[in-house]
Amino acid sequence: MIKTVIFDIGNVLTDFGWQSFFAGLGYDEEMSARLARATVQSDDWKEYDRGCLSDGEVLQLFLENDPELGADIRRSQENLRGILLRRAYAADWIRELKSQGYQVLVLSNISDKVMRECAEALDFMELVDGGILSYRERLLKPMPEIYELLLERYHLVPEECVFLDDTRENAEAAEKLGIHAIWFRDRQQAEAELRALGVGQDGVSASKA
């Protein structure tokens, strides 16, 4: 019986919209892709998400990744507002699950800067019952330690949890620890798989009957 639903944030409860973010700054598709390779798609971005680099340190690494784009990289990183976009269903989905008796947590690779500057897209965070954010713990999915920390901190039984993530590797890492996992593509697909696990309109209390 599932008691806890755990959500990834980017591309599950929000859109990680780096393409539209760079386009909004006036860059064409080719330049946006080049900027992305130097920044959000680099290994340095992952370490930034892990909380191991300051804003200044990661900027310097981005600049080293493509020195010719120095001014553009600096401009793009001044403020990341808009790199995460709201998904209209996020808050309602969380409320619906909580009304059915499920505990709702988040487990996300995300930086402090994105959390601060994309607060509007993350308005659902006040609804969840907690979770693990990578930058606070210096851990990243799919490291097993980040899942183990979530289980320990919230006194969770793996078999009573389901985790939704848009990255297959992250979902598979959860499964290795006994957590039910759904490789998320869209809400309709995810809800169908949740129903197959018994998560749905009947809720936790009915499942106990």
pLDDT tens profile 137-195: 999 999 999 999 999 999 999 999 999 999 999 999 999 999 999 999 999 999 999 99
Regarding whether 146 and 178 lie in a shared domain, the answer is: yes
Using alpha carbons, list the distances in angstroms from residue 172 to 6, 25, 175. Answer: 14, 36, 5
Indicate whether 94 and 46 sit together in one domain.
no
Q: What is the mean pLDDT of residues 114-134?
A: 98
Nearest to residue 46, comparing CAs of 108, 106, 122, 109? Answer: 109
Query: Do 108 and 154 belong together in one domain?
Result: yes
State which of 50, 77, 104 marks the end of a domain: 77
pTM of the entire predicted model: 0.94
Q: How far is CA 204 from the centre of its chain?
A: 25
Is there a single domain that holds both residue 27 and residue 69?
Answer: yes
Instruction: Report residue 208's pLDDT band, with 50, 70 and 90 as the boundaries.
Output: very low
Do 47 and 129 lie in a common domain? no
Rounded Cα distance between 171 and 67, Å, is 36
Same domain, 145 and 58: no
| The domain boundary residue, chosen from 77, 103, 121 | 77
Residue 201 pLDDT greater than 80, yes or no: no
What average pLDDT score do residues 56-75 get? 98
Residue 204 has pLDDT above 70, yes or no: no
**66 and 97 together in one domain:** no
Together in a domain, 33 and 92:
no
Total domain count, the chain: 2
Q: Indicate the residue among 77, 111, 127 that finishes a domain.
A: 77
Q: Which of 85, 84, 127, 92 is nearest to 106 (CA)?
A: 127
In which domain, by residue range, is 56 found? Answer: 18-77
Average pLDDT, the chain: 96
Query: Which pLDDT belongs to residue 207?
Result: 44
**Does 123 lie in the same domain as 30?**
no
Mean pLDDT of 88-92: 97
